[in-house]
Amino acid sequence: MTDATPTRLAFAEHADAVVARLTLSDPTRRNALSTAMFDSLEAHLQQVLERDATVLAIEAEGPAFCAGFDLRAAVEEEGALDSFITRLGSLCRTLATLEAVVVAAVGGPALAGGAALVSACDLLLASTEARIGYPAVRLGISPAVSLPTLMPAVGPAMARRLMLGGELLDGPALARCGWAHATAEDAEGLASLLDRTVERLAAAGPESLRATKSWCREHAGTTPEAFEAAVAATLAVLADEAGRETCRRRMAKALDRTRR
């Protein structure tokens, strides 16, 4: 495990707005959701809340936005997988309920837990190199934890297609289904698109943005009860010993492939 903090956070003032920029900065681990990554994300999101940010931009270093759960820990550490699922549900709830408008800029794979984080953001910007989806179902892990935020983002039919089929969507496909609100050709274009989007949001009235996000959230039905039920549904698969063993075996095979 690297000693460096796996996320960075910076604040800037834009007229009446406070803009936060959160960077997933653990590229050698493909920004996987490890215990350290969860700790860092939770601490930095608390700072965003305390600073009363108007806009939160989330981006990532390296070729991957977020490769999902840290498989090594999920396979080898007792209780890690259950903890990851619970903490992922909490992170998604935090992102969805922040007063700040949350913008994700995805220029590479955002898989399983990474896709869940993206689904909890208000706006998605993607490059042609983006790949977003839920291959976790192939490992025996239910992606239901993401349903409260994925369903409003893409609609019921696409949510079923992604969660049950494990399909990955690239930038153009993300735009066609309406998940990506804008796309760019490459990393440089994505960075520029993010800057322009943040500037446009920061120029709007902070109170009107907050009120609009609150109404969107209420209309989408992303209630605390929905997040709790989604986490419980994901954990329920692992409550059965046979289901847990199937999951452990498949994750171990996937981990072995990454080590070759």
What pTM, to 2 d.p., does this model score? 0.95
Tell me the C-alpha distance between 94 and 96, whole Å.
5
Tell me the C-alpha distance between 197 and 199, whole Å.
5
Give pLDDT tens digits for 190-243. Answer: 999 999 999 999 999 899 999 999 998 888 878 889 999 999 999 999 998 998
Give pLDDT tens digits for 145-165. Answer: 999 999 999 999 999 999 999
What is the DSSP-derived secondary structure letter of residue 116?
H
Q: In this structure, which amino acid lies at residue 178?
A: G
Instruction: Quote the mean pLDDT of the chain.
Output: 94
**Which residues contact residue 44 at a Cβ distance below 8 angstroms, ignoring those fewer than 6 apart?**
7, 9, 22
Q: In this structure, which amino acid lies at residue 27?
A: P
Contact 201, 194 (CB under 8 A): no
Domains of the chain by start residue, with CATH: 7-259 (3.90.226.10)
Q: How far is CA 163 from the centre of its chain?
A: 15
Supply the pLDDT for residue 3. Answer: 52
**Which residues contact residue 109 at a Cβ distance below 8 angstroms, ignoring those fewer than 6 apart?**
30, 63, 64, 65, 66, 67, 130, 131, 132, 168
Give pLDDT tens digits for 62-89. Answer: 999 999 999 999 999 999 999 999 999 9
Q: What is the residue whose two structure tokens read 């969107």?
A: 216
Give pLDDT tens digits for 93-141. Answer: 999 999 999 999 999 999 999 999 999 999 999 999 999 999 998 999 9
